[in-house]
Amino acid sequence: MSTPPPSIASATPPAARADFPAPQALLGACALALLAVLLCYFLLDRPLAWFVHDHDLRRYAWLEWLTHIPDFIVYASALVLLLTPFRLAWRKAAARGERVLLTMSLSVAAAVFLKNVLKYLFGRAWPETWIDHNPSLIQNHVYGFFWLQSGEGFHSFPSGHTTIVFAAMSVLWLAAPRLRWLAALLCAAVIVGLLGMDYHFLGDIVAGAFLAGVCGLYLQRALLAQRT
């Protein structure tokens, strides 16, 4: 008697399993992030902003250069997303590096969309005045959240620059362990630049990093689950 052919399920090698965080773990992480933001809001944000202003750290041009790292990530992500349909038209299996780049780009797009919604919801004033004489901590002693503000003068929370770099680098951290040093270096560089230029409060950066990290984790896991 001939042996029956194995079923498709048994014949197909198991795909990489996507380990999504348990709901309890995600809720716990949200609670910790909220606690960190509150600690920054009440204890750290104002002293750090005044320290940077009083010591005129903005005179160091290299700090501003660091804040432009997310710009290059946005341009690269847009290019990847624009070219992806043409790449798929070739009907060839994408290389692992291409999949990682696509996931990084999708993570950036999703995180940027969410941070724009949150900026409108929270309406936080900036550390310093940047846009059309917007009220700020340094110039007008205006500090806090002013909910549902559409003006850019109240878009400090969460940090968009932090969101962008962490959205891309969180995927890189998960997908390429050998490049974790690069992911950590770029994230740290952007944080130093933002704080040194007084562009954001520390709490804005914490919120942006958490939002982007969640986006990167779930997108990386979701696309991993699609692999066969």
| Residues 197-224 pLDDT 10s | 999 999 999 999 999 999 999 998 887 7
Cα distance between residue 150 and residue 146, in whole Å: 10
Mean pLDDT estimate for the chain: 89
Q: Which residue has the higher pLDDT, 92 or 54?
A: 54
**Encoding tokens for residue 39?**
């600690």
Burial, 32: exposed, middle or buried (Cβ in 10 Å; 0-12, 13-18, 19+)? exposed
pLDDT at residue 91, rounded to an integer: 67
Task: Tell me the CA distances in angstroms from 75 to 35, 69, 72, one per residue in order.
Answer: 33, 10, 5
pLDDT at residue 150, rounded to an integer: 80
Closest to 197 (Cα-Cα) out of 162, 170, 169, 165:
162
In the three-class reduction of DSSP (H, G, I as helix; E, B as strand; rest coil), residue 126 is classed as strand
pLDDT at residue 184, rounded to an integer: 98
pLDDT at residue 21, rounded to an integer: 73
Closest to 45 (Cα-Cα) out of 125, 133, 148:
125
On whether the CB atoms of residues 224 and 18 are closer than 8 A, the answer is yes
Enumerate helices (H) and strands (E) in the chain, giving the number of each. 10, 0
On whether the CB atoms of residues 201 and 49 are closer than 8 A, the answer is yes
On whether the CB atoms of residues 204 and 158 are closer than 8 A, the answer is yes
pLDDT at residue 6, rounded to an integer: 47
**Encoding tokens for residue 29?**
């992480």
Statement: residue 149 has pLDDT above 80: yes
Using alpha carbons only, what angle is made at residue 175 by residues 184 and 98, rounded to the nearest 5 degrees? 115
